[in-house]
Amino acid sequence: MILFELKCSKGHIFEAWFKDGKSFERQAKQGKVECPVCGDSKITKAPMAPAVTSSKRRNQNQPADVGRQKHLHKEMLEAVNKIQKHIEKTCDYVGNNFAEEAKAMHYGEREERAIYGEATAEEAIELQEEEIPFQRLPWGQKKSSKN
């Protein structure tokens, strides 16, 4: 296994593991490697410094790329917050009735509309088994309620 530092066409830098260099090349050519920040599939290898640890850094017990990781983490949180705001603005909040509402719409018992809410792990499994499309998303505190 080899860890590559990658870069999308929009400039986001991230890391990914591959069996070898040829595996990366093949997957990237097929569009199977995507940026975790923006979903872009135009990915190239970013220049990488060799993984050399100085005695000073070993004593600090801190990885060389901690600053880049913090920046990537911040970008990912901003992207999640942007998605959350869009969903809260454009979809109906159904609270703990999400699975029930999704099933009713899927089976034609209710008019289809964009919804969001909460579902237990068991409810999510039921939705998957019934092939009802839904997506779990990372979520901060609910900022608004639409009922």
Asked if 72 and 13 touch (Cβ cutoff 8 Å), the reply is yes
| Domain span holding position 111 | 91-129
The three-state secondary structure class of 3 is: strand
Q: Is residue 73 part of a domain?
A: no
Q: Is residue 98 part of a domain?
A: yes
Pick the more confident residue, 13 or 109.
109
C-alpha–C-alpha distance, residues 99 and 132, integer Å: 9
pLDDT at 6: 92
Q: Which has the closest alpha carbon to 45: 16, 75, 66, 71?
A: 16
pLDDT at 147: 45
- How many domains does the chain contain in total? 1
Reported as a pLDDT band with limits 50, 70 and 90, residue 146 is very low
> Does position 145 have pLDDT exceeding 60, yes or no?
no
C-alpha–C-alpha distance, residues 20 and 132, integer Å: 37
Q: Is residue 96 part of a domain?
A: yes
pLDDT at 113: 94
Amino acid identity for residue 96 in this structure:
N
Q: Is residue 80 part of a domain?
A: no
pLDDT at 68: 74
Tens digits of per-residue pLDDT, 87-122?
Answer: 999 999 999 999 999 999 999 999 999 999 999 989
The model's pTM is 0.50
Overall average pLDDT of the 45-60 stretch: 61
Q: Is residue 105 part of a domain?
A: yes
Pick the more confident residue, 39 or 99.
99
Q: Is residue 38 part of a domain?
A: no
Tens digits of per-residue pLDDT, 118-144?
Answer: 999 899 999 999 999 998 887 766 554
